[in-house]
Structure 1
Amino acid sequence: MSAGMPAEKSMNFGPSAKRLVGRLRPQRAKVLLVLLLAVGSVSLAVIGPKILGRATDVIFTGFLGSRLPSGISLQQAIAEARASGDDNRAQLLATAHPTPGVGIDFTDLAHVLLLAVAVYVGASLLSWLQGWLLNDVVQTAVRRLRSDVEDKINRLPLPYFDRQPRGELLSRVTNDIDNIQMSLQQTMSQLLTSLLTVVGVVTMMFVISPVLAVIALVTIPVSMVVTKAIAKRSQGKFIAQWKNTGQLNGQIEEAFSGHELVKVFGRHREVQAEFDRKNEELFQASFGAQFISGIIMPTMMFIGNLNYVAIAVVGGLRVASGSMSLGDVQAFIQYSRQFTQPLTQVASMANLLQSGVASAERVFDLLDAPEQTPDPVHPARPVDEPEWASPRQQGLGRRGRVEFEHVAFSYSPDAPLIEDLSLVAEPGHTIAIVGPTGAGKTTLVNLIMRFYELDAGRITLDGVDITTMRRDDLRGEIGMVLQDTWLFGGTIRDNIAYGRPGASEEQILAAARAAFVDRFVQSLPDGYDTVIDEESSNLSTGQKQLMTIARAFIAEPSLLILDEATSSVDTRTELLVQHAMAALRSNRTSFVIAHRLSTIRDADLILVMDGGRILEQGTHEELLAARGAYYDLYQVQFAQAPGDLDGEVPVPVG
């Protein structure tokens, strides 16, 4: 039924499938047991029709014996049949071996039927055990795969995530792994059972009657040719169906997301007409695809029925001639029915198996991605300890002196960004970084965090090269507040406490008050137990920003990085947060990235960057007096009208 449906194809099916199966190697003992259980279950199921055929022979033999007169021998009955010219009846009696005058042996029949019941019960039990054990094998393998992917993500460098669309990465981690699980679960069970069933049934058919077996096998190439022809015609229809589905969904999403604009400009009639056109195209493509693919099953049933008729006619003639018993013909007919079902299942598994291997390839690409340089086995740590260190900082040896020594970095080898940059941030000082978009401001602080590795030079923290430190040790004492807020689904309390696991209620409240979060939390019905949804839509942008600042407060970092941390709050709140920031920056080295120069006037050192270079550095007053790049930025923000920028005056339209 799935023939013609487009499945995502793998690039290297063989090697990828082999690697996917290799993921089961740690459970090879269980896999072997699954194989043995499958062989046992299929063997019993295949023997079943032969036993039922024996029951039919018992009934038929008793029927023939009851029609013969008692008191004569079987040889005499056969001789009388030959004498009367009925050779077929004579041959039938010779094959069936009835006892003249004796009817059905119900005791023997009961034994045969009980044996059949035992065989089928055993087959079902082994099949259930196989499914239970296979489920354990697959789920364990997928669990280990998820763990490997999670560990791999933690070892990947930040540039990998910069190159990968977020939705694409999420799809690999979630959808592709789920697809692998479904493919392994279904294909390993059904494919293994179906293949074993085909082998067992073909073997039994040749054992019973090679002639009838050849007749049954003739329908296989006929079925394959017919199925291939129909699937080839339906493939194009299915492709058109999915293409039109995507176009219709895109048009609907566009119309819904821009619903207000559609109403404002009065274009709802055009949108409706476009929807009707695409909907009709989807209807035509879907109708054709489903109709053509729906022909497969009736066609297969028709061919199967022709095969059934041929087996019944030939088998009946052979029973009449005494070449076969009636029970063998009945068993053969059952085998012929069992023969087509596993073939259909194998065909239906093709797309699913192809899709599962394709998903495995995408996950393997993630697992094979180059990792970040490992942490040193014997990491270095600063040893000097400041007098102002908080109890949490005792023993960490962090003074907060950061030095860039001839640093060079570029995202792409053919586009250098930072070249031979040197600067020193003294302990407890606030370093402000300003400049146009793309100047390298955020890159500078990302290098401190070791989100990226340097091309040349080095960065030291209290005289220790940060590449000789563990990343967790380095980042554990750095607090960072970004322009883009990030909150997870949970309570406000949990989001604030994210900065310090195990924080007490007093510490959470103190951080909330310091960042002015307590003001709006008190107005919420559930207070700090208010649950934030996944997109934080129940909080304003400014409120979310204040929560990220509170999260930095509670972490008590020795090195603080603020990247436009107050860009989303109102002017009054910004002034309050600035005072809180001043307290937070006390006795801590701080890097502040800002576009609004009013927020960095009190900085100990202001760096003016452009093109990855430091154009100027100094205090606010020194840079204004120098009348350089910083002076020009200041004039743009506070002295000139918006229409005077770069001498360009907006021209009214019309």
Structure 2
Amino acid sequence: MRLLFSLYGTRAGGLLLALLLSCMTLAAGVALFGVSGWFLTGAALATSAMTFNLFGPSAMVRGFSFLRIVSRYGERLSGHATTFKILSDIRVRIFSRLIPLVPLKAAAHRTGDFVARLTADVETLDMMFLQVVAPIATAILGALGLSLLLWLVLPEALPVVLIGFGLTTLLLPGLIVLAGRRSGAETVRTAADLRIAVLDGIDGHADLVTLGAVDGARHSVDKAVALVRKARLRQSWRIAFGPAFVVLGTGATAIATLFVGLPVLEQGRVSGPVLVGALLAVMAVFEVAGPILRGAGKLGAASAAAGRVQSLVDMRPAIVDPAKPVRVPPAGNITFEKVGFTYGRDASILTGLDLTLHPGERIAIIGESGSGKSTLLGLLLRLVDVDTGRICIGGVDIRAMRQADLHAHIGLLSQDAPVFIGTIRDNLRIADPAADDATLHAALVKARLDGFVRSLSQGLDTWLGESGETLSAGQARRLCLARTLLSPAPVLLLDEPTAGLDRPTEAEFLADLLAVTTGRTLILATHAAIPHGAVDRVYRLEDGALTLED
């Protein structure tokens, strides 16, 4: 739980407020039950043998009832609000780790496993504070308060109450946690396997249909579903035992309290109303045991999920910033000097590659799929490091620079550049959060998308849907181009920017692209036909080396 408690520290204010209100709710509930028992018993006895002041106790009952309602509402409001913020913090922390890890594939996880860790595992942690941490802390404080009350009015019952309360709220949940660790871990593992199977089936649907392997993939999903169901049923059985244990522990403790208290009543050392009030107060404090026992049934799964998330957070990327970084030269040649790079042990991609690019020059790199064009761009961005040789900007090795500075100096438009869920304005401001509407429209003009955006009823505030589903392929590509052009980076890398477009749209897009990037250093990696005179040089990447095309 190291991950959770490190995050709890950053939200300590909200969590302490929720804990305080939880204790207040429990105290108000105990006081309400105790006063009610004292009040009702005293009133009943007053009708036959004694007088009883009804106004004070009735006012206390109303006051404690109101306090309990207000504090419970406040506890739910503050606790859930803080929990949602913690979940957001977890996701931000995970994404901040995934950004350097995913391009390298160094984490050795499939896409489905990443998705499982970002969704199911994080969601498993959502109620840890409200169902485990806060109830246990409240139970401890509640036990102290109840002990003080019993010490004052019925000290003989103090040992049996503490034993019964401890067994119900600490020992039994602990046993449930120990018994459920294996099933909890199994629940998390099978849920992750199911997501992997589903996402693999979606990603590879075309290949599965072509190869006639759909039935096999469906069988894998069905098998994963069955395992998830089995694991969750085991976990549900343990969670279901929680209320039964609460009733059993409450009843047993109440009987023991009554057994100890009746002789004290007979001796006249405590009155009947006080004994009844103390008995109901003891029963009321067990209210906190319910959430603890329910949380204990889920703690095994939460622990396993936290472990999976923590392992991702702890994973150290292969690319790290130098201890004493050097600033990126604002201008200077980009040089690849005897660069070599190999995937795995035998898949040599680049071998002794040399390239010099002067400021403002524009080159195109062509080659077959898998020849290393995207790898070359990734090396310049330092998503991976060269195996041999070096890459320099202005004579400075990029490994001596901070990654953030390097990425600010180089802009990228990749073949799978995403359109994010949100508005047009949201997507554009990723490149420049401070850009005003005039700047955004200027970028759209360069990308030849401004007319389309202005024709929309909501303009820049038009909602695009998930993955830009409201845009055509060409419009989505132009929006990504506009976003890239908003970046002040003096160097632009374009990796298959026309992928997925038809021939006429491709030619039109490429012509516009080359026109609006004038003045910037440009490296274009593409399969598309390059318009004559559009770039200064065209290179072919083949067998790990560059050759200049005529």
TM-score (norm 1): 0.61
What is the identity, as a one-letter code, of the residue corresponding to 2:327?
A: P
Q: What does 1:264-279 align with in structure 2 at a 5 Å threshold?
A: none
Cα deviations across residues 324-355 of structure 1 (Å, max 9, x unaligned)? 53234313431442354333332222245555
1:183 alignment counterpart: 128
Tell me if the contact between 2:197 and 2:220 (Cα under 8 Å) persists in the aligned partners: no
Residue 373 (structure 1) shift: 0.5
SS at match of 2:467: coil
Q: Distance in 1 between matches of 2:121 and 2:233?
A: 29
The correspondence for 1:532, drawn from 459, 464, 480, is: 464
Which moves more between the two structures, 351-360 or 335-344?
351-360
The answer on 1:373 being equivalent to 2:317 is no
- Segments of 5+ residues of structure 2 without an aligned counterpart are none
The correspondence for 1:447, drawn from 379, 391, 398, is: 379
The correspondence for 2:139, drawn from 194, 208, 213, is: 194
Tell me if the contact between 1:319 and 1:325 (Cα under 8 Å) persists in the aligned partners: yes
Q: What does 1:332-343 align with in structure 2 at a 5 Å threshold?
A: 332-343=278-289
What is the identity, as a one-letter code, of the residue corresponding to 2:137?
A: L
Q: Distance in 2 between matches of 1:436 and 1:296?
A: 62
SS at match of 1:439: coil
Q: What does 1:511-590 align with in structure 2 at a 5 Å threshold?
A: 511-513=446-448, 517=449, 531-552=463-484, 558-584=490-516, 586=518, 588-590=520-522
The answer on 1:348 being equivalent to 2:278 is no
Change over 3 Å in CA distance of 1:495–1:61 after alignment to 2: closer
Change over 3 Å in CA distance of 1:251–1:307 after alignment to 2: same
Q: What does 1:466-481 align with in structure 2 at a 5 Å threshold?
A: 466-468=398-400, 471=403, 474-476=406-408, 478-481=410-413
Tell me if the contact between 2:100 and 2:383 (Cα under 8 Å) persists in the aligned partners: no
Q: What does 1:295-334 align with in structure 2 at a 5 Å threshold?
A: 297=243, 301=247, 305=251, 319-320=265-266, 325-334=271-280
Q: What does 1:406-485 align with in structure 2 at a 5 Å threshold?
A: 406-410=338-342, 412=344, 417-468=349-400, 471=403, 474-476=406-408, 478-485=410-417
Q: Distance in 2 between matches of 1:512 and 1:175?
A: 39
1:507 alignment counterpart: 442
SS at match of 2:140: helix
TM-score (norm 2): 0.70
Change over 3 Å in CA distance of 1:365–1:322 after alignment to 2: same
What is the identity, as a one-letter code, of the residue corresponding to 1:486?
A: P
Residue 448 (structure 1) shift: 1.9
Change over 3 Å in CA distance of 1:329–1:588 after alignment to 2: closer
Residue 317 (structure 1) shift: 6.4
Tell me if the contact between 2:39 and 2:58 (Cα under 8 Å) persists in the aligned partners: yes
The correspondence for 2:104, drawn from 149, 159, 168, is: 159
Q: Percent same amino acid at aligned positions?
A: 23
SS at match of 2:338: strand
2:336 alignment counterpart: 404
SS at match of 1:432: strand
Residue 409 (structure 1) shift: 3.6
SS at match of 1:106: coil
Tell me if the contact between 1:34 and 1:130 (Cα under 8 Å) persists in the aligned partners: yes
Cα deviations across residues 363-420 of structure 1 (Å, max 9, x unaligned)? 54454443630595662424xxxxxxxxxxxxxxx46x32112334445578654343
1:97 alignment counterpart: none
1:210 alignment counterpart: 156
Q: Distance in 1 between matches of 2:219 and 2:100?
A: 51
The answer on 1:595 being equivalent to 2:527 is yes
Tell me if the contact between 2:239 and 2:296 (Cα under 8 Å) persists in the aligned partners: no
Tell me if the contact between 1:430 and 1:585 (Cα under 8 Å) persists in the aligned partners: no
Residue 576 (structure 1) shift: 3.4
Change over 3 Å in CA distance of 1:140–1:559 after alignment to 2: closer
Cα deviations across residues 293-348 of structure 1 (Å, max 9, x unaligned)? 75764576467556656765775566456575323431343144235433333222
Tell me if the contact between 2:173 and 2:293 (Cα under 8 Å) persists in the aligned partners: no
Residue 193 (structure 1) shift: 1.9
Q: Distance in 2 between matches of 1:195 and 1:562?
A: 61
Change over 3 Å in CA distance of 1:191–1:124 after alignment to 2: farther
SS at match of 2:466: coil
- Segments of 5+ residues of structure 1 without an aligned counterpart are 1-12, 67-102, 383-397, 621-654
Change over 3 Å in CA distance of 1:254–1:573 after alignment to 2: closer
What is the identity, as a one-letter code, of the residue corresponding to 1:511?
A: K
Residue 443 (structure 1) shift: 1.2
SS at match of 1:576: helix
Tell me if the contact between 1:408 and 1:457 (Cα under 8 Å) persists in the aligned partners: yes
What is the identity, as a one-letter code, of the residue corresponding to 2:321?
A: T
Residue 528 (structure 1) shift: 7.4
User: Aligned Cα RMSD in Å?
Assistant: 5.8
Q: Distance in 1 between matches of 2:300 and 2:359?
A: 59
Count matched residues: 537
What is the identity, as a one-letter code, of the residue corresponding to 1:599?
A: I
What is the identity, as a one-letter code, of the residue corresponding to 2:135?
A: Q
What is the identity, as a one-letter code, of the residue corresponding to 2:279?
A: I
Q: Distance in 2 between matches of 1:177 and 1:277?
A: 24
Q: What does 1:619-638 align with in structure 2 at a 5 Å threshold?
A: 619-620=549-550
